[in-house]
Amino acid sequence: MDIHEIFVPVIEYAIFRKCSPNWRMAEHEIPFCDITYVIKGNAKYTINGVEHEVAAGDLLYLPPGTVRAGFTYPDRLMHCFSVNFNLKEIAGDTIRLPLPTVSHIGCKNDLTSFFHELAYIWLDQYPGYKIKAGGVFLMVLHQILEYTVYNTGSSGGDYRIKKIIRYITKHYTEKITVKKMADMAGLDTAYFGQLFKHETGATMNQYLMKTRIRNAENMLRSHEYDQISTVAEQCGYSDVYHFSKQFKAAMGISPSKYIPKKER
């Protein structure tokens, strides 16, 4: 499966479950996908005949057709979020996520918050709740893929770097220096540079350039601009030649290729 495909979640059930001492799941085959995120306690699942012990921070993913059973321990009662759903491509075909049966992603505050919001929306069921629930669940899936497939885990990153990234996203057209961003983060310039690269995989200047080039590409793709200089200026470049050089190096194509040819 190409995880970059656009898909639509169809949620059947969403809950925050605090298991009682006698909680037990009888063996049965499920016709839907199931994601269970454990935030406290322990449980033992039998999945297609194989036993799996799960604990806080574990994510259990079961595709349709899975035969499952499970129980918790009276002295280690499991608290978890559980969502039953199906994923549909825009064309209508059912797809599966590229996830193992059990992943240990740890207890993530942002992910837990999204799950709580989803459980609340599903329980309240006010008008239009399925639309909102689907949107929140897409955020849940995105963060899960970050921790298990993309291996970025950006949502759990350093709050100071997240603050700088938000600033760059909003002010990329302005003059931005490492010193200015380090001061904003309250960090020494050298340490800020190291931390930024650790969190993003790029230097701050590389990240700034990428942000500017991506915005320039979006502007050029709109076909609303017939002057490269206008795009360059609105993306923080005062030198058109420098902009064109960086754009081609990043995108593999000259920005002039996006400019519609005028009919004679």
Residues 6+ apart with CB under 8 A from 124: none
DSSP annotation string for 210-241: HHHHHHHHHHHHTT----HHHHHHHTT-S-HH
Give CA–CA dist 2/20, Å, rounded: 39
- CATH number for the domain whose boundaries are 159-258: 1.10.10.60
pTM: 0.64
Q: In the chain, where does the domain assigned CATH 1.10.10.60 lie?
A: 159-258
Cα torsion for 106, 112, 118, 123, to the nearest 10°?
Answer: 110
Q: In the chain, where does the domain assigned CATH 2.60.120.280 lie?
A: 7-150
Query: CA angle, 181 as apex, 179 and 185 as ends, to 5°?
Result: 115
Domain 7-150 = CATH 2.60.120.280: yes
Give CA–CA dist 129/157, Å, rounded: 30
Kindly give the confidence (pLDDT) of every residue in the chain, 264 residues in length, as a single tens digit, with 9 standing for 90 and above: 455 456 788 899 999 999 999 999 999 999 999 999 999 999 999 999 999 999 999 999 999 999 999 999 999 999 999 999 998 777 667 778 889 999 998 888 889 999 999 999 999 989 999 999 999 999 999 889 888 877 655 445 678 898 899 899 999 999 999 999 999 999 999 999 999 998 888 999 999 999 999 999 988 888 888 889 999 999 999 999 999 999 999 999 999 888 766 544
